[in-house]
């Protein structure tokens, strides 16, 4: 048991170091030696967890998908909104999530397969949209797969723009505005006014999840 804990901690330490190195140096120029140095672990420990630079990058890429289990809502569209807004919140506050997203957007990274996060987010959005359809929440003409990719791709761009223009200061605002532009085209009008699309929604959901997971912190 303690051994396993240590392995998990070591893996996390290596991923944090890799995230930092990729963010500072870019995927192309980053080297495994730099990650080794930043992580302060042995070569053996690193290669036990990761076989190559791309393997390290995939670890960082997929870290953004951890910890996104959300409380179920009566409205599946609200759940979809919550996924988007929580992701925006985590981008602002979690360096590992930020590194993963930046890596997935690095169009100069030759030889790195960036498909993973796009496919994972789109599949999650598509599932929620299909559930929403089953409950009669969306308009009849909607192609849930198309909409899932529109949400995934457009959010990716909105966060990059927010990073470039305000270093993520306006990210919540921009994400909320994006949803206000897309949802009216897909959601039943009767549902729209019941949705919480406010910029603070991500923080609200994060606090809610956090409180549920560690009830002793919420005293």
Q: What is the CA radius of gyration of the chain?
A: 19
What's the CA gap between 64 and 90, in Å, rounded?
Answer: 9
Tell me which residues touch its own copies (CB under 8 A). Answer: 22-29, 101-102, 104-110, 114-115, 118-119, 146-147, 149-150, 152-165, 174, 177-178, 180-182, 184-186
- CB nearer to its own copies: pick between 67 and 116: 116
The distance of closest approach from Cβ of residue 108 to its own copies in the complex, given in angstroms and rounded to an integer, is 4
The distance of closest approach from Cβ of residue 215 to its own copies in the complex, given in angstroms and rounded to an integer, is 37
- CB nearer to its own copies: pick between 40 and 157: 157
Residue 104 near residue 27, CB atoms below 8 Å: no
What's the CA gap between 178 and 91, in Å, rounded?
Answer: 16
What's the CA gap between 100 and 95, in Å, rounded?
Answer: 9
The distance of closest approach from Cβ of residue 76 to its own copies in the complex, given in angstroms and rounded to an integer, is 18
Residue 83 near residue 70, CB atoms below 8 Å: yes
Q: Provide the 3-class DSSP secondary structure of residue 94.
A: coil
**138 phi and psi angles, rounded to 5 deg:** -115, 165
- CB nearer to its own copies: pick between 45 and 159: 159
Residue showing tokens 């140095």:
37
The distance of closest approach from Cβ of residue 24 to its own copies in the complex, given in angstroms and rounded to an integer, is 7
CA angle 91, 94, 98 (to 5 degrees): 50
Tell me the DSSP string of 174-192: HHHHHHHHHGGGTB-HHHH
The distance of closest approach from Cβ of residue 207 to its own copies in the complex, given in angstroms and rounded to an integer, is 27
- CB nearer to its own copies: pick between 33 and 42: 33
- CB nearer to its own copies: pick between 18 and 45: 18
Q: Kindly state the tokens that stand for 91.
A: 């981008």
- CB nearer to its own copies: pick between 5 and 181: 181
The distance of closest approach from Cβ of residue 68 to its own copies in the complex, given in angstroms and rounded to an integer, is 19
């Amino acid at each position: 048991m303690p051994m396993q804990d240590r392995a998990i901690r070591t893996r996390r330490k290596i991923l944090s170091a890799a995230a930092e190195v990729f963010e500072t140096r870019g995927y192309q120029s980053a080297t495994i030696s730099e990650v080794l140095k930043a992580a302060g672990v042995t070569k053996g420990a690193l290669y036990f967890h990761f076989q190559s630079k791309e393997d390290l990058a995939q670890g960082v890429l997929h870290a953004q998908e951890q910890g996104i289990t959300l409380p179920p809502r009566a409205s599946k569209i609200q759940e979809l909104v919550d996924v988007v807004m929580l992701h925006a919140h985590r981008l602002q506050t979690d360096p590992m999530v930020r590194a993963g997203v930046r890596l997935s957007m690095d169009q100069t990274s030759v030889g790195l397969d960036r498909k993973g996060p796009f496919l994972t987010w789109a599949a999650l959005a598509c599932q929620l949209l299909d559930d929403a359809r089953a409950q009669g929440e969306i308009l009849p003409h909607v192609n849930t797969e198309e909409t899932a990719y529109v949400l995934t791709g457009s959010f990716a761009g909105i966060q990059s723009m927010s990073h470039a223009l305000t270093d993520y200061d306006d990210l919540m605002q921009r994400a909320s505005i994006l949803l206000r532009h897309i949802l009216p085209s897909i959601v039943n009008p009767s549902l729209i006014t019941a949705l919480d699309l406010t910029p603070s929604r991500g923080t609200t959901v994060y606090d809610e999840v956090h409180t549920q997971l560690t009830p002793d912190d919420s005293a």
